[in-house]
Structure 1
């Protein structure tokens, strides 16, 4: 398990050379206004916008008890959206992310967590609210939020491969999914289509180990999943190389097409490459208006 303080320190170091990131959505330019001129969107302004049913992540103090008393449900007052933009992160914590082919390389999970945290640091420094998918950590700002995020991202799931969640995404917000995307594609497609239906735009970053791109195997080889639940033995691993690389290329094309279809951005990052370069790409991808 990665220590939260170590993860936070590594992410801070990676984020420090970059200016504060303002994750601009399509409407952000007109929403950032001076004075009391808010935009009719939910957010952090002082002017009432609408009532909505309370969600599990809403704090008790945010509930309007007078309005709730007139119904069997609890209601929250949404305020006018003025500055803060909500960004939801999903960082794959499945067993497959614990792979690395060389002790001098980070695991895919280590690189993914560092990039996710560094992105969160830049966003929060820019005045944004950042959270995690699946209602685990609703979007908020501040140093305490970063610490909670580091703690949650320091754990590992038992599943072989991860699947993103669209639950908890606010309409017209931004999102970032970081994974190797080596598992079933159906949950990825479902999450992105659900996000697109809510007007959510964002970025997919695929993190791979260099060995997963090169497939340097030959002769008798045993391939096992990181959890040990899946295993395949072959006497002629070299014969699988072309088929494997073709399927990997097809998967990348599928991810790229899905991103284009839903208005997201897609890129692949290798753990042998500069983490700062990947963070720069995320900077541009989340800042870009689509």
Structure 2
């Protein structure tokens, strides 16, 4: 099990060079939440933003007479529009995610957890509410929320492959799923369709070990799932390569198609690639306007 404090520290280090990650709010009428931090635009709120010249449509009571007395024109105080978008994360914690083909490479689970928590840190810095799917951790802001998230993400699941959950998603909110997506594709499709029915948009990030994409096996090879529940032995592993790569490509194509159909975005990431690149992609994906 990964230590929560170490996971949080790694995620903080990854998040620190990036600007605040602000998830784009869609259908604001149903998702506006008043908060202490907001986007710098005029609207309903209590925090002063700027003075602006009064317009003909402004009511007399909205004029700041003290500021106006220092000028030949009348001025109005604009308030900052304080909105917070709920973003729900599902980070795969199943046994398949604990795979690493090289001691110098992180496990898929470690990379997924760091990316998920780093995204949460950036979201919360930007004033968003972040939580976990499955009603495990309702969306909130603050340091305590990040610590609880780190603790929950540090737990492992004994099942071979993970299945995303759509439970707990607020209508018209945002979501992020991080997994190897090597398990039941029907479960992924069901979760995305349920999310789409609620107006939820988001991002799918597939995390793979480089060996899973290259299939560098030859001769007698024993393939075994990380939990030990699945096992396959072959004397000619090289003969499986073409079929394996074709099926992996088909799976990626299906994920891409599901994402496009439901208004999500999809990207694949290898653990031998820099985590910062993946986090920048998440930044753009979660800001994407449909």
Q: What residue is the counterpart of 1:164 in the other structure?
A: 164
Q: What residue is the counterpart of 2:147 in the other structure?
A: 147
**SS of alignment partner, residue 242 of structure 2:** helix
Instruction: Give me the TM-score of the superposition, normalised by structure 2.
Output: 0.83
Distance between the aligned counterparts of 2:239 and 2:125, measured in 1?
50
Shift of 1:26: 3.0
Aligned counterpart in structure 2 of residue 36 of structure 1, from 15, 34, 44: 44
Contact 2:255 2:266 in 1 (8 A): yes
Q: What residue is the counterpart of 2:87 in the other structure?
A: 87
2:125 corresponds to 1:115: no
Q: What residue is the counterpart of 2:276 in the other structure?
A: 276
Contact 1:25 1:201 in 2 (8 A): no
The Cα offsets for residues 52-73 of structure 1, whole Å up to 9 and x where unpaired, read as xxxxxxxxxxxxxxxxxxxxxx
Distance between the aligned counterparts of 1:12 and 1:228, measured in 2?
34
RMSD of aligned C-alpha atoms?
Answer: 1.7
**SS of alignment partner, residue 170 of structure 2:** coil
Contact 1:220 1:236 in 2 (8 A): yes
Q: Name structure 1 gaps, 5 residues minimum.
A: 39-80
**SS of alignment partner, residue 163 of structure 2:** coil
1:50-65 equivalences under 5 Å are none
Shift of 1:82: 4.8
Distance between the aligned counterparts of 2:157 and 2:104, measured in 1?
24
Q: Name structure 2 gaps, 5 residues minimum.
A: 33-38, 47-80
Distance between the aligned counterparts of 1:232 and 1:263, measured in 2?
37
Distance between the aligned counterparts of 2:252 and 2:239, measured in 1?
22
Q: What residue is the counterpart of 2:66 in the other structure?
A: none
Q: What residue is the counterpart of 1:173 in the other structure?
A: 173
Distance between the aligned counterparts of 2:28 and 2:267, measured in 1?
24
Shift of 1:36: 3.1
The Cα offsets for residues 135-181 of structure 1, whole Å up to 9 and x where unpaired, read as 00000000000000000000100100000000000000000000000
Q: What residue is the counterpart of 1:213 in the other structure?
A: 213
